[in-house]
Structure 1
Amino acid sequence: MFANRKAAGEALAKKLEAHEGADTVIFALPRGGVPVAAPVAKRLKAPLSLLFVKKIGAPGQPELAIGAIVDGEEPTQILHNDIIRSLHVSELYLSTESDLALAEIERRRALYAGLYARVSPKGKTAVIIDDGLATGASMEAAISAVRQQGATRIIGAIPIAPTDIIEKLKSDVDELICLDAQESFHSVSQAYHEFMQLSDADVMEVLNEFSGDERSLVQKRA
């Protein structure tokens, strides 16, 4: 069990040390993935960028993901068609929720502008980090997006996930690192002593701290 998201990131960083270098970019999935990814980027001396992914929740069950949207030049949509069929989700609902998800992504991107490196994964090793997986919809969308954007190698890195989701995603990436694979999975929070819901202000604080550390490092090298 991890003390908090930062501690989980420090543990992931040790597993990813072999990928230190200029050809690696760390992509965090806001909000929860940012404090996990920051220690990884710091240890690997890699840029920290963001992938804005918004889950599409089921009608009346917003915590049940039926898909996800990730922004980019062409937004990527991932749908869990088996769940959609079983719940008889309408095309109108999917279209409306997708538009709302894209609007929220644009809001966050504008809010965080200037606080992170907007780096293309083209020709790079893309390490995609979240604080954990439940359905895997957000990670699946992120993987599809960086592949379309030309990443040469894709690594998924998470502190906790259900074993069946790990098996499902393994074929989508070059490497998948999960520190706590759970057969009896209840929620991402079960891996943490402290797991508070993060606000935009919390994310911005982490990004500001990371940027400050990077500036200090550059000044020391100079």
Structure 2
Amino acid sequence: MFRNRQEAGRRLAAALASFRKERPVILALPRGGVPVASEVADSLGAPLDLVLVRKIGVPGQPEFAMGAVAEGAPLVTLRNEPVVHALGIADSDFEAVRDRELIEIERRRRAYLGDRPRVDVAGRVAILVDDGIATGMTMRAAGRATALQRPSRVVVAAPVASSEIAADLRREFDKVVCLEECDDLFAIGVHYADFSQVGDEDVRRILSHHATVAG
């Protein structure tokens, strides 16, 4: 069990130490991934930026992922086809939830980034960090959106992940680094003694801390 996201981030940074010499860019999935990624960025002396991505939840069951959408041009939208098919989700219902999440992505962009310039990942190692990977939908969408920016490699990193999902991600991305992989990962929070909610102000504070790190 990790004490909190900060301790998890420090342990994850140690596992990623070999990337320091490659001048990586650290990309956090907000909000929970930001404190973890902050520790990684500090340890590797790397710039920190965000990948704005949202789960597309089943109507009435928002924590049950039927897809994910990530910022970018073009947008990256993933559908969890087995869930969509099993629950008989109409395309119009899927798109309605996706559009609501796009509104939240735009709100977060304004709230967290404002006019702050984004870090250019082209030609660099992009390390995507979250506090845990359960279904893998948001991380996969984030990774695909990042790949469109032409990094030299896409690395997925998290303190804890489903072993099945980690294996799937390894087939798609260049490298996956997880400290703990579990056969039955039902809730990321059970792996943390303190899994307090990360707020908008926490994200802004952490990004402000990293604003002076050279790209």
1:173–1:116: structure 2 CA closer, same or farther, 3 Å change rule? farther
SS of the residue aligned with 1:20? helix
Residue 83 of structure 1 corresponds to: 83
- TM-score, normalised by the number of residues in structure 1: 0.91
Give 1:59 shift.
Answer: 1.7
Aligned partners of 1:21 and 1:117: how far apart in 2? Answer: 24
Aligned partners of 1:115 and 1:41: how far apart in 2? Answer: 21
Residue 219 of structure 1 corresponds to: none
Residue 122 of structure 1 corresponds to: 122
User: Higher RCO, 1 or 2 (CA under 8 Å, sep at least 6)?
Assistant: 2
After the TM superposition, which residues 56-95 of structure 1 pair with which residues of structure 2 at under 5 Å, given as runs?
Answer: 56-95=56-95
Residue 188 of structure 2 corresponds to: 188
Q: How many residues align?
A: 214
Aligned partners of 1:83 and 1:58: how far apart in 2? Answer: 9
Residue 42 of structure 2 corresponds to: 42
Give the counterpart letter for 1:70 in structure 2: A
Give 1:47 shift.
Answer: 0.8
Residue 10 of structure 1 corresponds to: 10
Aligned partners of 1:92 and 1:113: how far apart in 2? Answer: 31
Give 1:115 shift.
Answer: 8.6
Structure 1, unaligned runs of 5 or more: 216-222
Give the counterpart letter for 2:186 in structure 1: H
Aligned partners of 1:184 and 1:191: how far apart in 2? Answer: 12
SS of the residue aligned with 1:171? helix
Give 1:205 shift.
Answer: 2.2
Give 1:73 shift.
Answer: 2.1
Aligned partners of 2:116 and 2:178: how far apart in 1? Answer: 25
Residue 162 of structure 1 corresponds to: 162
1:151–1:50: structure 2 CA closer, same or farther, 3 Å change rule? same
1:116–1:129: structure 2 CA closer, same or farther, 3 Å change rule? farther
SS of the residue aligned with 1:26? strand
- Stretch of structure 1 that moved more, 86-95 or 13-22: 13-22
- TM-score, normalised by the number of residues in structure 2: 0.94
SS of the residue aligned with 2:209? helix
Q: CA RMSD in A?
A: 1.6
Residue 52 of structure 2 corresponds to: 52
SS of the residue aligned with 1:195? coil
* Contact kept? 1:162, 1:182, Cα under 8 Å: yes
Percent identical pairs in the alignment equals: 39
* Contact kept? 1:21, 1:45, Cα under 8 Å: no
Aligned partners of 1:184 and 1:115: how far apart in 2? Answer: 41
Give 1:143 shift.
Answer: 0.9
Structure 2, unaligned runs of 5 or more: none
